[in-house]
Amino acid sequence: MARTVESAAALNPFAIAQLQFDTAARLLNLDSRLRAVLREPVRELHVSLPVRMDDGDVKVFKGFRVQYNDARGPAKGGIRFHPEETIDTVRALAAWMTWKTATVNVPFGGAKGGVICDPKRMSKSELERMTRRYASEILPIIGPSMDIPAPDVYTDAQTMAWIMDTYAMTVGHSAHGVVTGKPVSIGGSAGRSEATARGLLYVVEEACKLKKISLRGASVAIQGFGNAGATAARLFAEKKAKIIALGDTRGAVTNPRGIDPIKAIRYKERSGTVVGMPGASRFSNDELLTMKCDILIPAALENVITLHNAEAVKARIVAEAANGPTTPHADEILARRGITVLPDILANAGGVTVSYFEWVQNQEGLMWDVDEVNARLQKIMVRAFMEMVDTMRKHHVPPRAGAMILAVNRVAEATLVRGLFP
Ligand code: NAD
């Protein structure tokens, strides 16, 4: 009987990240000792965070920081607050950060952090105390030339401000470059908050040229309506694409004639969800993922396009704003069906690219305007897209393997030229 769902072990994000690495390593004919080095994180920190809650009780949260690789520069990666966070998710996200910074060729390694908590059920002051305690616990291994956190799911510019302040108060001097994705008032970069979605737009534009799809009038479905998804909806609509479906944790909404993203953003600000917004009818996230559209943008969490639904996906392009939304089995099915999957390590790399710009501006005391940031971002995203396409053609592989070969080769080269210490 044909398998219709992957086993829990096959859905483990770190197992998936390692499998993707193994494919690239095999195609690159990488030395087995080098494979062993690049297949595992270099450093992991597990922390326990006692936090005083508003009712006077003390709750202990569990957190992690994983530095996967720093051969090409300081480790870099976001911090996620999520009730279902696991060490293997953080490991996978740290690995993907390593391959992402290498794909766009910015001088960073890869890292990720996470705390198991439910931010939707915590007050702002509880979140601040937990964030500061987490920052304090991971402080020995972060810093502008060591490891630089940024926002991810359910963390934002405010979270980064608390981390930066905790770091600065502890080391005794200002240190803007310790985090990116900060508020602009304390050294954040113009254009950072929309950079992930803008970078996605730039690579989708290039893919549309290759597939001869006009972005103007193209239908777009987006799962996840946070920083990446809501901004993507707005930017794609500005290019006259038609946003025909949006989804978040509570469900999804659709209108084949198009949904105004600004109205959706305003509705979500008021009610906490897009579900119920006027001018769109309710349906499910499952239906959203398999609806007929030109461009499907998963912008929520991992493992949403799987063996279970890959045969039913009807998009022409899947642009991965989220990290790890497509499982390896689903990847194979989509490739066989001629659906272009723009892989996370390229498609959502606009965020880390502008984080790199933010760090450069902090280190050098510069302040670029948004036009300069966007022009530099476009140049990097288009170059990375072209390099991925060249690699795909050379190795006769789909986009993810193309990007992975490009990335793994860069990290391998850096590792070899540095040599083995001691
Ligand atoms: P966010 O917290 O701003 O938004 C997450 C969104 O996903 C919310 O709308 C939430 O309702 C939705 N969501 C969560 N679980 C869901 C589920 N089970 N079904 C449907 N919707 C669900 O987070 P974000 O920063 O936009 O991150 C989203 C994805 O993009 C993540 O995979 C993240 O790693 C990735 N990413 C983000 C950035 C960035 O700069 N923020 C950069 C690169 C990649």
Q: What is the pLDDT of residue 3?
A: 64
Q: Is the CB of 149 under 6 A from ligand 1?
A: no
Note whether 96 and 110 are within 8 A (CB).
Answer: yes
pLDDT at residue 100 in the model: 98
H or E element in which residue 236 lies: helix 227-238
Nearest CA to ligand 1 atom 23: 153
pLDDT at position 5: 85
pLDDT for the residue numbered 422: 95
The token duo for 191 is 């254009």
What is the rounded distance in angstroms from the CA atom of residue 153 to the CA atom of residue 133?
Answer: 19
Whole-angstrom Cα distance, residue 231 to residue 109? Answer: 26
Burial class for 274, CB neighbours closer than 10 Å (0-12, 13-18, 19+): buried
The low-confidence residues of the chain, meaning pLDDT below 70, are 1-3
Q: Is the dihedral of CA 353, 358, 361, 366 positive or negative?
A: positive
Ligand 1 proximity of 96 Cβ (cutoff 6 Å) = no
Phi and psi torsions of 70, nearest 5°: -130, 30
CA of 420 to the centre of ligand 1 (A): 38
| Minimum CA distance residue for ligand 1 atom 31 | 322
CA-based Rg of the chain, rounded to a whole angstrom?
A: 20
User: Annotated active-site positions, please?
Assistant: 112
**CA angle (406, 347, 341) in 5-degree steps:** 85
How far, in Å, from the CA of 321 to the mean position of ligand 1? 8
- pLDDT for 118 equals 98
How is residue 43 annotated by DSSP? E
The pLDDT assigned to 2 comes to: 56
Mutate-to-test residue for ligand 1 from 227, 268, 342, highest number of ligand atoms within 8 A of CB: 227
The CB of 300 under 6 Å from ligand 1? The reply is yes
Alpha helix (H) residue ranges in 64-174: 87-103, 124-138, 157-171
Q: Would you say 45 and 64 are in contact if contact means Cβ atoms under 8 Å apart?
A: yes
Query: pLDDT value at position 1?
Result: 42
The CA 302 to ligand 1 mean position distance, Å, reads 10
pTM of this structure: 0.97
Ligand 1 atom with minimal separation from the 228 CA: 26
Query: What is d(CA 355, CA 419) in angstroms, rounded to the nearest whole number?
Result: 28
Show Cβ contacts of residue 124 under 8 Å, excluding neighbours closer than 6 positions.
none
